[in-house]
Structure 1
Amino acid sequence: MTAGTLAQGEATGTFYIASSLAAALDALNDYGPEGAAFAGGTWIMRAPIRHQPLKTRHVAIGKIPELTEIRIGTDAIEIGAAVTHAALASALADLPDFAVLTAAAGRSANPAIRSLATIGGNLATSDFSAADCVPALLCLDAQIEVSSRSGRERMSLEAFLTQRSTLAPGRLLTKIVVQRSRHKTAHARLPLRKAGDYPVAIVSLSFDVDTANYVRAARIAIGSVETVARRWDRLEAALLDRPLAPARAADVAAELAGEFVGRESVEVPPWYRVSVLPRLVRRATAAALGA
């Protein structure tokens, strides 16, 4: 690996460029709590703005081949953690079964951020509640690979979200695996303003419908409304075994929206995040149906 220094605000820390995944894991393990992986850096570099202390040591992983690959197979796709949002959106653009993830990666933040921000960083940053790719991958039932010097572990994205802030030093999200299907998927977001970077609320969904348009399976995930994105189980259950229609989906969402408690922020009041959910459910359902 190559060593150097990185000045960030008023802090200067050691910055190592790892030439391989093994080297990166070794460095992160050796640095312990003072170390952090550095890929796109779009969240880390703004830590001083959030009045958060920087780690004293960073390990650059953005050039490791294994982490920057996208493998598209007949049964599943594998996405390296250092793949950027722009690269992911481009790679999946012609795959209709991944429309939800293409939209999430291709519309998040702004073009400059999308060219640098990585999918792994989007999932691993526990302090960022407005990540577009988290609900998109939740509705796709994604699996997460976490690596360390002792091996690799596969877990559901739901499980990863509950433990990402407490991962032991030396453990690193390295891959996302998503099974392929013929489900209808879509992603809808309401930005803070017309050209806003961060969404007030996000609805990502995946439907399996039969030839009569009856819902056989549904996965609906909500992001940015609460601190952590999650599945909307009751809405999924209410739509099963019925014809899929945007208006009805929105009506049911309005009846059930009270189970969400909007997060506090300086941008919008908590109630507003919840109030827009039925509209986003309608929009996402219509998009999934091609309407």
Structure 2
Amino acid sequence: METFASGSFYVAPSLMAALDALDEGGSEAAPFAGGTWIMRAPIRHEPLKSRYVAIGKIPELHAIKVDADVVEVGAAVTHAALAASLADLAEFDVLTTAAGRSANPAIRTMATVGGNLATAAFAAADCVPALLCLDAQVEIASRAGRERTSLEQFLTMRSTLAPGRLLQRIIVPRRGRKTVHVRLPLRQAGDYPTAIVSLAVSLDDAGHVQTACVAVGSVEPVARRWHRLEAALAGRPLNAARAAEAAAALAGEFTGRDGADVPGWYRVRVLSGLVRRAVAALGS
């Protein structure tokens, strides 16, 4: 196979070639998909890697497979492609909204789902909380084989993955739930969201919540499930006011991240309003 030179850019023709190149490059190599985060590294005063492995030509990384029980999404699928492919599946409204309204149209045609999940420094990624509330799993490939883990676990280990490993696909179970994704941009649609709430619920015949999965993004450095709010919603009818009250009472468990655009306390304060909007949307 081709070898790297300093500052090189290798276009991998296959998954195995990409894994070989990443393994060869070690800590100096990184995968390059849409490039929407990497290309702006100089603006953030972050150093670039000396070696990049382009994975955009690998067919299986662009595949979306919809089965009766599961949806599988290749890591190089763009936000725009994902939103279009799942648009007719109401149970994935949370994900089509996350992918279809993130950033701006130009970015959505380039940014990949795998990049959204793997970029540890990007706290405002829309697809992360959306996939968290859907109980998604990820598959990580290396020359030694494949490893599957929950997205929740992947978020804790992504910044310390050994060289030569690549997020290959995302696996999302189908459970017929009602889902919604709400976000609060600073000023306009193209801004990064101040806070995100993704919600998935299953209801019994009486309209009571059987299961609830709530995920919060952009508030803290890493998106996470809101397990105590999930417990507060379970067993009750969907009620936006009551859900907002519970969220306000539990919001203290979050420590908002400060930024030049908005203080951390504000990110936490708006959570109850986003929960109200999410529950109201599901009940309409």
**CA distance in structure 1 between the partners assigned to 2:33 and 2:237 by the alignment:** 44
1:91-170 equivalences in 2 (<5 Å): 91-170=85-164
Counterpart contact for 2:79–2:108, Cα < 8 Å = yes
1:182-201 equivalences in 2 (<5 Å): 182-201=176-195
Paired residue for 1:257?
251
Paired residue for 2:80?
86
SS of the equivalent of 1:105 reads helix
Paired residue for 1:173?
167
Residue 44 of structure 1 pairs with residue 38 of structure 2: yes
**CA distance in structure 2 between the partners assigned to 1:76 and 1:286 by the alignment:** 27
Q: Which amino acid aligns with 1:58?
A: Y
Q: Provide Cα deviations, 1:235-285, integer angstroms capped at 9, x if missing partner.
A: 000111111111111111111111111001100011110111011111111
SS of the equivalent of 1:216 reads strand
Q: Provide Cα deviations, 1:23-70, integer angstroms capped at 9, x if missing partner.
A: 000000000000000000000000101111100000000120010000
**Aligned residues: CA RMSD:** 1.3
**CA distance in structure 2 between the partners assigned to 1:79 and 1:197 by the alignment:** 26
Q: Normalising by structure 1, what TM-score?
A: 0.95
Structure 1 unaligned residues grouped into runs of 5+: 6-11
The structure 2 residue matched to 1:239, chosen from 228, 233, 243, is: 233
**CA distance in structure 1 between the partners assigned to 2:189 and 2:101 by the alignment:** 11
Paired residue for 1:277?
271
1:209-228 equivalences in 2 (<5 Å): 209-228=203-222
Deviation at 1:2, TM superposition (A): 7.1
SS of the equivalent of 2:148 reads strand
Paired residue for 1:8?
none
Counterpart contact for 1:2–1:17, Cα < 8 Å = no
Deviation at 1:71, TM superposition (A): 0.3
**CA distance in structure 2 between the partners assigned to 1:156 and 1:195 by the alignment:** 30
Q: Judge which range, 191-200 or 229-238, deviates more.
A: 191-200
Counterpart contact for 1:85–1:106, Cα < 8 Å = yes
SS of the equivalent of 1:236 reads helix
Deviation at 1:3, TM superposition (A): 8.2
**CA distance in structure 1 between the partners assigned to 2:155 and 2:17 by the alignment:** 26
Q: Which amino acid aligns with 2:278?
A: A
Q: Which amino acid aligns with 2:149?
A: M
SS of the equivalent of 1:222 reads strand
Deviation at 1:195, TM superposition (A): 3.2
**CA distance in structure 2 between the partners assigned to 1:91 and 1:261 by the alignment:** 36
Following TM superposition, where does structure 1 have runs of at least 4 consecutive aligned residues deviating by more than 4 angstroms? 1-5
Pair 1:196–1:145, CA change in 2 (3 A): same
Q: Provide Cα deviations, 1:101-144, integer angstroms capped at 9, x if missing partner.
A: 00000010000100000000000000000000000000000000
**CA distance in structure 1 between the partners assigned to 2:15 and 2:180 by the alignment:** 33
**CA distance in structure 1 between the partners assigned to 2:205 and 2:145 by the alignment:** 44
Q: Which amino acid aligns with 2:23?
A: N
Counterpart contact for 2:132–2:151, Cα < 8 Å = yes
Paired residue for 1:9?
none
**CA distance in structure 2 between the partners assigned to 1:152 and 1:205 by the alignment:** 30
Counterpart contact for 1:253–1:278, Cα < 8 Å = yes
Aligned residues: 284
SS of the equivalent of 1:26 reads helix
SS of the equivalent of 1:248 reads helix
Structure 2 unaligned residues grouped into runs of 5+: none
Counterpart contact for 1:18–1:59, Cα < 8 Å = yes
Deviation at 1:4, TM superposition (A): 9.4
Q: Which amino acid aligns with 1:239?
A: L
Counterpart contact for 2:212–2:230, Cα < 8 Å = yes
Counterpart contact for 2:219–2:256, Cα < 8 Å = yes
SS of the equivalent of 1:126 reads coil
